[in-house]
Structures are given as structure tokens and as C-alpha cells.
Chain A
Amino acid sequence: MNGFEDWALTLLVFLPLVGAAVVVAIPRSEEGLIKIAALGFSVATLAVAIGVIADFDFDKGGDIQMEVNKTWISVINANYHLGIDGISLPLLVLSAIIIPLCIIYSWNHFPAPHNPKAFLALMLILETGMIGTFAALDLVLFFVFFEVVLLPMFFMIGVWGGPDREYASIKFFLFTMFGSALMLISFLAVYFLSDPHTFNMLELQQSGALDISRATANLVFAGMFMGFAIKVPMFPFHTWLPDAHTQAPTQGSVILAAVLLKLGTYGFVRIAIPILPGAAHDWAPWIGLLAVIGIIYGALNCLAQTDMKRLIAFSSVAHMGFVMLGIATLTDIGINAAIFGMVAHGLITGMLFFIAGSVKERYHTLEMKRLGGLILQAPRLGWLLGFTCMASLGLPGLAGFWGEFPAILAAYSPAAGLSTEVFRSFMVVAAIGTVLAAAYLLWMLQRVGMGHIPDEWKDHRIADVQTSEWLAWVPLLVMIVVLGVVPAILMGTTDDAVQGIVKVIAAAGK
């Protein structure tokens, strides 16, 4: 399979883009063909991703594999540099799985104003951006893919969104742009401060490549922090998220929750921390602080919501708080937990948004006061909501647990040099957050799933889960259970690479 390794990642990144071009080329009247083409390309991408998994050497998860490094913009020494290790692989595969599922889900229910052609093309472009971000090993390339993601999502929200879509999409766009700009400055700073000048992430991680004072490093880190923290999103830069989620079409919400937020956390793990480990040390307590504030603050906001989708959106703030807490500990357990948390949150919250979308389609509202008795009226949908809520609140045996508990565990003993007292306080606060998580999720389940069927809907026939929904959801449900029971699938993949990062951090701590 030597040949495969050379072009696998390139194919994986650009196949969806080719798909988008094909979809655009098909006349709008050929709706069936458009759908089939879109699904075909996304499934082909997934097949390549599976090929990548098969070819990936899991014993060397810490090494960069399937590396491609070609000169791209020679003036600034920016290369077309792709490669994956144990950290990027799961997220890359997650992206490749989510898009076909979203396309299947879309099959019969495209949001208004319909136009499947544009919708599907945007989705495929998104996929290129996401996969490219996870595979890029060059800062310029990373930045380009990072930004490629922005536009399609902007249009998805702005065109296919709810009544307040303009405000939401502009907010999303400007917020992210703002962060991106600062991030780019930091990337440029890294380039000019490194010797020799380079955008190569791997070279920049070598100690000595970036010989700068701690103060400068902290400033450079600040730029990256803004770029990534807005994307995560961390408190207090999160306000774009509830608006974007609430207004976005179901598929947009799913992709946003499942993959887009992870671009931010991935950025911390892949770029900010390994390149600037010293600054990461200085920043860690503050990141941890914002993370636990996010956990509690997000949860409390959830409790104040009356709209199901907005509640789920705020829950993302809380859940990503656990991920960031794990990262902030700068330990192997914490970072492994963070990556597990990213994947788990992607599966679980993606699933929650799917269910919310299906509820909205059936009842034409997500106002929880008007809902109730879902388990009676559409038992399967109701029980799925229950199951997903349980997964989301971190029940052991389901995927969410492995993102949550190990992050709390890691906070007990953060990396050398970080204050244990501070992080143990974070640990306790995060543990309190798990109770609040249970509170808002079960409260939602009670409002939506339990109780009598409200009079308003007594005479309506509410369809239970349909075939296209099953097809889109079963893979997610299976993964939630399997990862919950056999965490080694993910832990074993990420651990080697995480150990590498922890070594870099430890070296900087000396």
C-alpha cells in the first residue's frame, strides 16, 4: 500500500471538493442526481478514510504518517504539508462520518428555501475544510482550511436558517474572523521569530526552533488563544454559538457541534501548546479557569432556556469546558480525555441536534412548554432522546463519560509547575458541573419526553423515527455505546501522540 500512503490524504481532503464541483455542474432540475452525487462523493470520502484507518500504523500513533510535503508558496516557505497522527486521525474520521450522515438525514427534509444543490455543495466544501484542517501540518495551510470552513457555514446559517438568521450568521462570521485575524498574526509572528523561518508545525515543535522570551511567547500564545478559544467556544467568547445553533438548520447545527467546535480545541492541542509549551504553562491556569466557568455558566444558562435547541447549544459551552479543562492540565490523562471528549461530544451533541431537528419537524416548535409526552406519541424518538441525554450527562458505559471523568481526574494532578491547589479547586467545580448537566438534561427529557401528551397534539399523528433517520443515527448510536464500553479504541489511538506532546511540555517546564 505504499502508493496509497502518498496520495491518500490529498484524496481525502479534495474528494469532497470535487464532489461539490460535480454537484454544482449538475442542473438544478436533476434533484435526484444531485443527491446521489453528493452522497456518492461523501461515501467515497468515508471509504478513503476507512482505507486510511486500515493503513494507519496504530503502534506508532505518535508518529506523523502518510506525510506529504511539497513546496507550495516558496516565497514564504509555506508548504503543502499534510500528515496525520493518533490525535488527528479520530477527528478526521469523525468529519468523514458526519457529512454522509447529514446528507442521508437531508434526503427528504431539506430546510427552506430548499435548493438541495447549493446546500449539498456547501456541505461538501465544509468537509474539505474540516478534513484539511485536521490533516494540515503547515500553519498557512492550516489557516486556509480553517477559513474555508467559515464561508459555507455562514451561508448555511444565513440562507437556510431560522427567522433570526441574519444576525446569527453575521455574528458567527465576524466573531470567528476576529479570532482568525489574531491567530494569523501569531502564525506570522511564529514564522518571523523562528530560525530558520518556517511554518512547519513539526519543526516548530522542536525545542530551540523558536527561541523567544517567555513574555513574547505569551503574547503570541494570546493570539492563537483568541483564534481557538472563540471557535471552541470558551466563556466569554461563546455568545455567537447559541445564536448560530438556534438559527442554523439541523444539519448545520450537527456539523457545527460535531466537528467545527473541535477545530478550536484541536488547534490548542496541535499548534498552540506544542509550539509554545512555555506560554501554555503560563496560560494553563487561566484556560482552566475559563473552562470551569464555562462548565458552570453554560449549565446555568441551560437551566434558563425554554427552547430545546438553544438549551442543547448552551450545553455545548459546558461540555467544551470539560475538554478545555482536560487540555489545561497539560497532562497525558487530561489531553487524552480532551480528545475523547471532543469525539464523544461530537457524537452525542450531534445526535441531540438531530433529535431536536426531528422534533421540530414534527411539532413545528421547540418551545418546551408546548411539548410533552414524546415517549408516548413517538416512543422510539422519545427513548432515543432519553438515551442521548444519558450519554450527554456522562453516564459510565457511554462515550461521554470518558471525556468527563478523566478530565476531572487529571485536574487533581496537573503538569509539574502548575498549582495543584488551583487545579483541585477546578476539579471540584467541574464535578459540581456534572450535577448541573444532569439537571438540565433530565429536565429537558422530562419536559419533552415525559408527561401526558399536550392537548395541542392529542389529535395529531406524529410519525416515529423514519428510515432515513435511522440510517443517519444508528452509526452515531453504535459508536456512543462502543466507545463507552471499549475506550481503548480511542485512548489507544491518541495516547502515543499525546505522550509526545506531554514530553514537549515537560521539556519546556525545565
Chain B
Amino acid sequence: MIEHAWIIPTILIASFWLILFFGKRLPNKGHEIGIPAVLTTFVMSCVVLFQWVTGDHSSAEPVRASTTWFEIGDVQIRLGVSINGMVAILLFVVTLVSSLVHIFSTQYVKGDRRYTQYFAALSLFTAGMLLMVMADSILLLLFGWETMGLCSFMLIGHWFEEQANSNAALKAFLTTRTGDIGLLVGFSTLFFAAGKTFDIGTINSLAASGLIEHWLLLFAASWMLLAVVGKSAQVPLHIWLPDAMAGPTPVSALIHAATMVVAGIFLVARIFPVFFYGFDIGAGGINPIALIGTITLLVGAAMAFVQQDLKKVLAYSTISQLGYMVAALGVGAWTAALFHLFTHAFFKACLFLGAGSVSEGVHHTFDMRKMGGLRKYMPTTHITFLLATLALAGIAPLSGFWSKDEILNGAYAGGYDFVLILGSVGAFMTATYMGRAYFKTFWGDYKGHGTPHESPKVITVPLVILAFLAVFSGFLNAPGIEKFSEWTEMEVPLVNAAGEPLVSHGETHSTEEGTTTQEHGSTEEHALFDGAAGSAGSAGVTLANLSTSAGASLNADGANGTATSVADSASDVTVRTVSFNNLAAGPELAAEDAEGHDGYFIPPHHKFNTTLAILTSIPALLGIALAIWIWYLGTAPKGVLSRNRFLAWVVHVVDEKFYFDWLAQNLVVKPIKGPIARGCYWFNQHVIDTIVNGIGVFFGRWMAAAASFFDRNVIDGAVNGSAAAVGASGEALRKAQDGHIQRYALFLFASVGLIGLAVLVLS
């Protein structure tokens, strides 16, 4: 199966077309195609994951299958897929969540007038995500990326009769598309930087080996970061995500848990060497990825506090959690980011679908002021929602605890203290706002109309499955198990200037020594190949030298190094990279493991730190306690926020969404649509056209005068004769001739010709 994994997205694309063409005529309006298709891909994905895990694949070459797409000159553009551990895991997650969303939707959008289109779009959406995940080139990745953009447009705007919904769809598409400018520019840069190829493997290897100049990596990474900010809803382009709640709720679960919004995270993770060396991640201190992620995690969490709409709370929570993932990548905690993506997919999908179930139960509203006390009426929804809430809050031992802890641990080990501190603050806020939402929805008295009811099995069964995973999926990377790290391990083989790997797989250490000594010369060559190659270049060189004696001493250094010493030696790229390898293996394993890693770029992943885990759990527990105090016990002092002028101002700013929407609307959208566009059109109609018409009139007069010198009959005869031959209606033609247009044209032609000729001769 794993060799033929390309079938997986193909099935869903076929399903899209089949539903589109035949769905309306089928008794179930299309879901009888969509659901089997997505379930098939789920089973296939399980097989792929199983094969990867059991086969000889962990920490090995990706499984690739590709064919020539087209050629330009000697540049071959290939179309293909590449499966490694990260991809296999994501296939599993995406198809699982998508399957559950499909099933859930049969109830949730039942009887909708565009039921068929809805299921077609779900199929294509999932296909887009899978295509992006499996792509072996950034070009195909772009295909998946944009396909998701299209489908999110269709799904967010599903109920487009209301302008608010179609506005939300447009906002989502255009905001993410603004980010995509970065993708176009960044990918173009990478294409040429990697020697005219879109191949991700090649790009990674070259970037990791220091064979791409540092400024190019920085340039590409900066532009692509824009795309990440757009797609993964980071500040300041996060503004589309809350509005995207206009779509049907299962769609929100799909878009905001397992697909689309994590595309940005995936992009960074997939071509991590480009970002790692482009932004000098690992040098500690501040880099734009870590900074944006951290700001986003706080801003999102803050806004989640002031929402009255349950789905909006989850939307802002998604922004905040995406901030964690981005920050994790920014501090170099690659595995942690991916792991959080993994666990988040389950608990956030569970929460969104839970919110959908609640809305079904309380007769279609998401307003928490009209809820309350639902635990009595909706026991299954309640329990699953509670478990997912606790997982999101990061309460041990639920899944969110493990992944969030890994991120904070990564920030600590990487020397990014501000991420650690602010991330902990974020954890406190997360626990509090989720506690607020939970208590407002499920405790107290019911304030809506009618009697709430539990949802049918089609809805609750997916909830139970997701809640189960929300609880237990974290153990996959718990200390002592660490299967997730093992399966996803990213190994980018370093190459020399000729593109040959420094170490080929399966070679023993002794032979490596011989080859690397040989490579020594050539690596120095490419260090020289441009002065600007800079730090990235030297990192590649020293890694290549690792198996020599110099490497041994560096190993020792790294093994003894604590996290602080890593940060201290930030200026020395060599030591930094090496010690990451050692940290990954743990001090006791370092000597042995570093050998195995020679010649590879491996993103760091950090040992579980018990002290830190306990310390970072405190904010989450405090947050829960605060939520209980305020929204469960109700004994907290009331009115503090409105009485204190500063706090009231803060609440106001948060309420106004930090004015991001206002700024985007008034500084970008309105000016462009209004004065700038209208000004351009005015310029077009009044300046350019006045000049054009002026020239026309000038020539017209001149020609009219000239024409009178000529024998009317000759010219008219000739022109009218040709017109008649055309056989057009004489009456209408005469009208169109208006002022002997042909004759004018002839003179225009002649005069322009003469002037032109004169110019040419005189020159």
C-alpha cells in the first residue's frame, strides 16, 4: 500500500467529481459516494501508517513514487508523493477526522438544499489536504494548499444567501490569499536556489548542508512565513478565522482542527531546514516565527474570553493553539509542534463537533447565554466535551498536557525563555476560558427555549471516538514510550556540492570515515562558494566533519551541555547543531547516537523534563481553579472589570478584537476598493482617454482637411466596395461608417506611416 499511497487522494478527487455529476440523482444525495470514499482512504491510511511503523521505515528514507509532469528545457518538473513518518501520521489523522465529520454531517446538514455540493466539497477539501501532506514537491504542495482555499471558500459560504456568510467566505479566501503572495515568491526563490527544482527532499538537503546562501534562505523563509501567517491564522492575518464560523459546524471541525489551518504549520515542518537556517532558529533569542507564534497564542487566548458564542470561543482557541505550534517551530521544537498538531486535531475536533451537538440539542444557537445546565440533558456530549476541554487545558495525563509540555520544554531547552514564560501564561488563560465556556454551557440552569435533547448516535459516536483519542493519544509520546518521535523522526541527508549524500544509508561507521575525509575537501569548497553562505554553510561543513576527531570532542561538549549552555553558545552554530543531536538522544546515548546521525540534519527533540512538566502544569490548574471560582461557584467578586478603569479599557480593546479587523477594513480593504480603485478608474477615463481622444480629434481634423484634397469618389468607391463585398447589412453599415471612418483610417495610416518613416530615415 505504502508504495501506492497516491491512490488515497485520487479516490477523493474521483469522489468529488462523481458526487458533483451524479450526487443529485442518488437517493442519499451524494453521501453514499462520499462516505465510503473517505472511509476507504482512512483504512488505506491506517495500512500506510502500519507499514511505516512495522516496516524498516522508521528513521529511514521516505517512500516515493513520482512521474514526470512536464519539462521545460532540461528542467524536469515531477509529480509525485513522498511518504515518511510525519506524512503517515497526518494521513491517519486527516482521514480519521474527515470520516467522522462526514458521518456527523449526514445528521447535521440533513435536508439542506445544497447537501450534494456540501459533500462534494468535503471530498475535495480532504483530497486537497492529503495532496498537500503527501506532495514531494512544493509545487504539488501549492496545489493542495490552494485547493483547500477553494473548498474553504465553498464551505464557509455554504449558506451564501446571507451576505454575512458570503462576506466571511470572501474574507477567508482573500486573507489567506494575501498570505499566499509569500508562497509564490518564496517558492520561486527556493526553486532557483535549489537549482531549478521543486523537490522537497533536494531543497531540504541543500538547505541543511549549507549549499544555499543564507540570505536566500532568509528571503524565502520570510516570504513563506507570510503564507504561514495567513493560512495558519497568525496575528495579524488571523482575522478570517473567527468569521469562518459562518460555515456549517462540522466544516469548522474539519477546517480548524485537522486541516487547512495546520497547513502553515505543516509547511514549516516539511521544509524545516529552510526555516531553521534561514531564521537561525536554535540561536536562542528572538526570531520572527517564535515571536509571531507567541503573540498569537496570547492574543487568541485573550479574545476567547470575551465571546458569548461557543463556536467563537473555540475559534479563538484555535488561533491560540496554532500560535503554540508556530512558536514551537520557532524555538526548534519540531517534534513538539507536530505532536501538538496531532493531539489538537482530536480534542479540537471533539470540541467543535460537541458544539455542533449542543446546537442541535438547544435548537440551533451557539449563544452560551441561552444554554446552561446541559449536562443533565446531554450526558454524552457533556462528558466528551469535558474530556476534550481538560485535554485542551493541558491537564495531566490527557493528550494536551503531553504536547503542550513538550512545546514549553522545547522553549526552555532552546533558550527561548520568553516563549516559555508567555506560553505558560497562555496555558493559564486557556484553562480559564475553556472552563468559562464549559461551565456556562453545561452547568447552572437552562436559559434557552424548549427542552434540550441529546443528539442521535451519528453525532455522539464520533464524539466518543474523538474524546477517547483526546484522552489517550498523548501517551504516544510520553516518556518511556516516545513512539511518536520515533515514527516521525525527520532525517535530512546532508549532501556535498555535487548533490551526493555525505553518508549513504546502511553504511558502517568505518567506511563513513573514509568518505567523509574525502568530502572534506569538497565541503570546504562549497563553504567558499559564496561568502554570504554564512553560518548555514559552516554548519554543513562541521557536520560533515563530525566523524573525525573534531566531532568527537564536540560530542563530549554537547553531552555535558545543559540547555543554558546551548543558549550561551548561540553564536557558535556548530556546537548548537551538534548538541541538538545529543539532546535528542539524551546524554547517556549521545556518544553512540551521534555517530548514527552523522551526515544528517535532524530537528532537535527534547527529553521529558519532570520538574518543568510539574511547573508548567501549575498555571493550567490555577486557570481551572479560577474558572471554578468565577463561573461555577460564582463567589468571585463581581464587577471588578467594569469598576477598574484600566481593566475596563483592556476589556474594551479585547472586545474590539484589538482593532485588527478595524485596521484591515479601514486601512486596506476600504481604501483599495474605494478611493484607490475609483481613482484608477477616474484616471483611466479622464486622463488616458482624454489624451487618446485628443490625439484622435487632432488627427481627425488634420485628415478631414487632407481628405478634401482627394477625389472622394476614388476612395469612397474603393472602401464602400469592399464593405459591400463583406455582405453586411447596408443600412446598419452606413450608420457605423459615421463620418467616413475608413477614409480617416486610411489617412491616419498614411500619416503615421510617413512620420515613422521620417524618424527612421533621420536617425
> Which A residues lie at the B interface, using CB under 8 A?
23-24, 113, 115, 117-118, 121-122, 125, 151-152, 154-155, 158-159, 165-166, 169-171, 173-175, 177-178, 180-182, 184-186, 188-189, 215-216, 219-220, 223, 236, 239-240, 297, 300-305, 332-333, 336, 373, 375-376, 390, 395-397, 405, 408-409, 411-413, 427-428, 431-432, 434-436, 438-439, 442-443, 446, 449-452, 487-488, 491-492, 495, 498-499, 502
Contact = CB atoms under 8 A, between A and B. Distances in A.
B688 interface: yes
B181 A332 contact: no
A390 B184 contact: no
B72 A435 contact: no
Nearest to B682: A304
A411 B185 CA distance: 10
A165 B157 CA distance: 39
B530 to A, nearest CB: 15
B736 A165 contact: yes
Nearest to B170: A442
Given A118-B728, A301-B680, A446-B170, A452 B161 contact: yes
Contacts of A220: 760
Contact of A412 (B189, B680, B692, B699): B189
A375 B192 CA distance: 43
B150 interface: yes
A117 B170 contact: no
Interface stretch (B339-347, B385-393, B546-554, B750-758): B750-758
Interface in B66-96: 68-73, 75
A113 B170 contact: no
A159 B731 CA distance: 10
Contacts of A236: 688
B190 to A, nearest CB: 10
Q: Which residue, of B68, B146, B756, has the highest number of chain A Cβ atoms within 10 A?
A: B756
Contacts of A451: 160-161, 163, 166
Contact of A375 (B73, B160, B725, B741): B160
B681 A301 contact: yes
Interface in B149-174: 150, 153, 157, 160-161, 163, 166-167, 170, 173-174
B73 A118 contact: no
Contact of A431 (B160, B181, B723, B750): B181
Contact of A434 (B69, B181, B749): B181
A170 B147 contact: no
B673 A303 contact: yes
B112 interface: no
- In the complex, the 6 A-B pairs of residues with the closest C-beta atoms, listed nearest first: A158-B736, A185-B756, A304-B681, A303-B677, A181-B752, A488-B70
Contacts of B157: 450
Contacts of B749: 177, 180-181
Interface string B734-763: 011010010011001110110011011001
Contacts of A396: 142-143, 146-147
B236 to A, nearest CB: 16
Contacts of B681: 300-301, 304-305
B73 A495 contact: yes
B741 A219 contact: no
A155 to B, nearest CB: 5
A118 B735 CA distance: 15
Contacts of A113: 729, 732
A408 B70 contact: no
Interface string B689-700: 100100010010
A407 B750 CA distance: 38
Contacts of A405: 142, 184
Given A303-B672, A431-B184, A491 B759 contact: no
Given A159-B736, A215-B763, A152 B69 contact: no
Interface residues on chain B, size class = 35 or more
A434 B146 contact: no
A174 B696 contact: yes
Given A174-B744, A174-B745, A451-B166, A300 B676 contact: yes
Contact of B174 (A122, A182, A186, A439): A439
A376 B159 CA distance: 11
Contact of B677 (A304, A332, A395, A442): A304
B733 A159 contact: yes
A304 B680 contact: yes
B667 interface: no
A185 B188 contact: no
Contacts of B71: 488, 491-492, 495
A303 B672 CA distance: 8
A409 B191 contact: yes
B188 A332 contact: no
Contacts of A155: 723, 726, 728, 733, 736
B701 interface: no
B70 A428 contact: no
A392 to B, nearest CB: 13
A438 B173 contact: yes
A56 B657 CA distance: 62
Given A332-B73, A409-B188, A118 B677 contact: no
Q: Which residue, of A158, A411, A427, has the highest number of chain B Cβ atoms within 10 A?
A: A158
Nearest to A432: B181
Contacts of B757: 185, 188
Contacts of B672: 300, 303, 436, 439
6 contacts: A174-B745, A219-B760, A395-B147, A412-B188, A491-B72, A495-B73
B447 interface: no
Given A182-B752, A492-B70, A239 B680 contact: no
Given A428-B185, A450-B166, A185 B736 contact: no
Contacts of B70: 487-488, 491-492
Contact of A151 (B72, B726, B732): B726
B712 interface: no
Contacts of A442: 153, 170, 173-174
A297 B727 contact: no
A301 B177 contact: no
B756 A182 contact: yes
B753 A412 contact: no
A72 to B, nearest CB: 20
A305 B725 CA distance: 39
Contacts of B167: 446
Given A215-B763, A442-B174, A491-B70, A159 B729 contact: yes
A488 B69 contact: yes
Contacts of B748: 174, 177-178, 181
B180 interface: yes
A413 B680 CA distance: 30
B684 interface: yes
B696 A125 contact: no
Contacts of B752: 177-178, 181-182
A122 B73 contact: no
Contacts of A300: 672, 676-677, 680-681
B369 interface: no
Nearest to B680: A300
A239 B161 contact: no
A171 B142 contact: no
Given A216-B763, A397-B143, A492-B70, A118 B160 contact: no
B753 A395 contact: no
B612 to A, nearest CB: 42
Contacts of A432: 181
Given A185-B757, A240-B692, A303-B673, 16 more contacts: A158-B735, A170-B738, A174-B696, A301-B677, A302-B677, A304-B681, A396-B146, A405-B142, A412-B189, A412-B191, A431-B185, A450-B157, A450-B163, A487-B70, A488-B68, A491-B71
Contacts of A189: 760
B677 A435 contact: no
Contact of A495 (B72, B177, B723): B72
Contacts of A390: 150
Contacts of A151: 722, 726
